[in-house]
């Protein structure tokens, strides 16, 4: 019974030793020595087969004679080690710090192997070459991974490769896979993304918060609302995918001082953040809401109105006015064009 257990233990040791020859981080010699110890006490036939094996026997004889590892064996081990590290650095991670850690591990194992190797100079040249290959390939993979990069917004950067967009964090890790046709920057914890021609919103963990259903969208503003277009009409949703302002407007702007200008048919008016009509849709043109006043046009005449819709002042014909904190500035309409108006 004892001999049978020793034979099983010796056989498993041989198997692990063979794996140690192939796998860089798994030692081979200790398992072969354990196998010889087990076989010497259980089966002389198996013991001699191990000692006389042209591959395994070399490890045992070199250890017993203190000759160290043969240069060819060291070169093979180092080549496998750095090949696995290079592949891991390129395909398994995009984190620079993890790549540095892989390089440190490789150096540590390589140092140990070289310490046990005869004629170290022969293998050292190979190690230097492998180090250069590792550095060049891993850094090249980092620099050419993405074709387009933008500025970071809320800790995320939108990147594209092969016409697909995703996001990376500040360490270079791809936190949101490149799976979208178009994206907008994160704003208020959500980012607008397009998939199959429709827009929706995702959070930083790539969970879909607002389903893909809109033809056009704008990022969430400070009001907590985002303009969305559905069936050719604009409306506003909140961050919980509730439709606050129904999609029934032909054109909308961004919120300014709690109001958003909108066009319904040929007439302009203003809506509040709750979706109520703050200023009736009776104007031919309106500007964005300023601190106290709004410029509007009706029947060919221009006026200043306040945020309740009451007329403050009628303007001279042919002029466009911008109000700011009670001060009036006059500009010729044909000379100046105001962004967003």
User: pLDDT, tens digit, for every residue of 309-328?
Assistant: 888 777 766 554 444 333 33
Q: CB neighbours (10 Å) of residue 111?
A: 10
**What is residue 32's three-state secondary structure?**
helix
Confidence grade of residue 290 (pLDDT, cut at 50, 70, 90): confident
β-pair type (198-202, 327-332)? unpaired
pLDDT value, residue 321:
47
Least confident interval from 17-31, 54-68, 121-135, 162-176: 121-135
Residue 62 has pLDDT above 60, yes or no: yes
pLDDT value, residue 213:
95
Query: What is the spatial distance between Cα 319 and Cα 131, in angstroms, rounded to a whole number?
Result: 72
Angle among Cα 49, 53, 56 to the nearest 5 degrees reads 115
Query: What is the spatial distance between Cα 48 and Cα 273, in angstroms, rounded to a whole number?
Result: 88
Least confident interval from 10-19, 49-58, 144-153, 247-256: 144-153
Query: What is the spatial distance between Cα 293 and Cα 42, in angstroms, rounded to a whole number?
Result: 100
Nearest CA to 81 among 54, 48, 97, 103?
103
Q: Are 290 and 258 in contact (CB under 8 A)?
A: no
Query: What is the spatial distance between Cα 259 and Cα 272, in angstroms, rounded to a whole number?
Result: 5
Which H/E stretch holds residue 341?
none
Nearest CA to 59 among 71, 44, 43, 70?
70
**What is residue 25's three-state secondary structure?**
coil
pTM above 0.75, yes or no: no
Average of per-residue pLDDT across 277-298 = 88
Q: Percentage of the chain with pLDDT > 70?
A: 64
Query: What is the spatial distance between Cα 269 and Cα 262, in angstroms, rounded to a whole number?
Result: 6
Query: What is the spatial distance between Cα 189 and Cα 46, in angstroms, rounded to a whole number?
Result: 66
Question: CA 310 → CA 286, 297, 313, 314, distances in Å?
Answer: 14, 13, 9, 11
Least confident interval from 10-19, 43-52, 146-155: 146-155
Confidence grade of residue 77 (pLDDT, cut at 50, 70, 90): low
pLDDT value, residue 237:
95
Q: At a CB cut-off of 8 Å and minimum separation 6, what does 243 contact?
A: 235, 236, 237
Average of per-residue pLDDT across 153-179 = 88
Confidence grade of residue 244 (pLDDT, cut at 50, 70, 90): very high
> What is the rounded average pLDDT for all residues in the chain?
77
Least confident interval from 3-12, 131-140, 153-162: 131-140
| Selection from 12-21, 170-179, 205-214, 286-295 with the highest mean pLDDT | 205-214
Residue 71 has pLDDT above 80, yes or no: no
Average of per-residue pLDDT across 103-129 = 63
Q: Are 167 and 157 in contact (CB under 8 A)?
A: yes
Residue 339 has pLDDT above 50, yes or no: no
Q: Which two tokens stand for residue 314?
A: 């009628």
Q: Which two tokens stand for residue 111?
A: 């140092």
- The dihedral built from the CA positions of residue 213, 216, 219 and 223, taken in this order, carries a sign that is negative
Q: Are 259 and 289 in contact (CB under 8 A)?
A: yes
User: pLDDT, tens digit, for every residue of 120-140?
Assistant: 555 555 556 656 666 665 555
Place of tokens 């390129």: 90
Confidence grade of residue 25 (pLDDT, cut at 50, 70, 90): low
Q: At a CB cut-off of 8 Å and minimum separation 6, what does 41 contact?
A: 3, 6
Domain residues of the chain, as ranges? 2-64, 71-143, 250-341
Average of per-residue pLDDT across 240-261 = 92
Least confident interval from 29-43, 188-202, 212-226: 29-43
Q: Which two tokens stand for residue 200?
A: 């929706």
pLDDT value, residue 174:
85
Query: What is the spatial distance between Cα 191 and Cα 208, in angstroms, rounded to a whole number?
Result: 10
Q: Which two tokens stand for residue 226?
A: 């985002």
CATH architecture of 250-341: Beta Barrel (2.40)
């Amino acid at each position: 019974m004892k001999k049978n257990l020793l034979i099983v233990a010796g056989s498993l040791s041989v198997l692990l030793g063979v794996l140690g020859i192939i796998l860089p981080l798994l030692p081979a010699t200790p398992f072969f020595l354990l196998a010889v110890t087990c076989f010497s006490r259980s089966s002389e036939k198996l013991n001699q087969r191990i000692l006389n094996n042209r591959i395994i026997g070399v490890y045992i004889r070199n250890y017993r004679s203190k000759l160290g590892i043969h240069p060819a064996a060291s070169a093979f081990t180092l080549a496998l080690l750095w090949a696995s590290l290079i592949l891991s650095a390129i395909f398994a991670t995009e984190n620079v710090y993890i790549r540095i850690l892989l390089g440190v591990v490789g150096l540590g194992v390589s140092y140990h192997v070289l310490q046990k190797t005869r004629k170290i100079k022969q293998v050292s040249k190979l190690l230097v070459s492998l180090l250069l290959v590792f550095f060049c390939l891993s850094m090249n993979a980092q620099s050419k991974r993405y074709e387009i990069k933008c500025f970071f917004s809320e800790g995320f950067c939108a990147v594209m490769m092969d016409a697909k967009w995703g996001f990376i964090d500040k360490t270079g890790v791809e936190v949101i896979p490149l799976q979208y046709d178009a994206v907008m920057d994160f704003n208020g914890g959500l980012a607008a993304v397009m998939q199959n021609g429709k827009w929706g919103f995702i959070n930083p963990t790539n969970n879909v918060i607002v389903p893909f259903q809109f033809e056009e969208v704008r990022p969430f503003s400070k009001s907590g609302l985002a303009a969305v277009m559905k069936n050719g009409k604009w409306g506003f949703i909140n961050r919980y995918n509730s439709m606050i302002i129904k999609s029934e407007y032909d054109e909308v702007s961004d919120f300014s001082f709690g109001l958003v200008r909108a066009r319904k048919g040929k007439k302009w008016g203003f809506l509040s953040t709750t979706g109520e009509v703050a200023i009736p849709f009776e104007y031919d043109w309106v500007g964005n809401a300023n601190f106290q006043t709004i410029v509007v046009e009706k029947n060919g005449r221009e006026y200043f109105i306040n945020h309740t819709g009451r007329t403050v002042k009628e303007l001279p014909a042919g002029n466009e006015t911008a109000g700011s904190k009670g001060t009036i500035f006059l500009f010729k309409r044909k000379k100046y064009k105001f962004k967003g108006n």
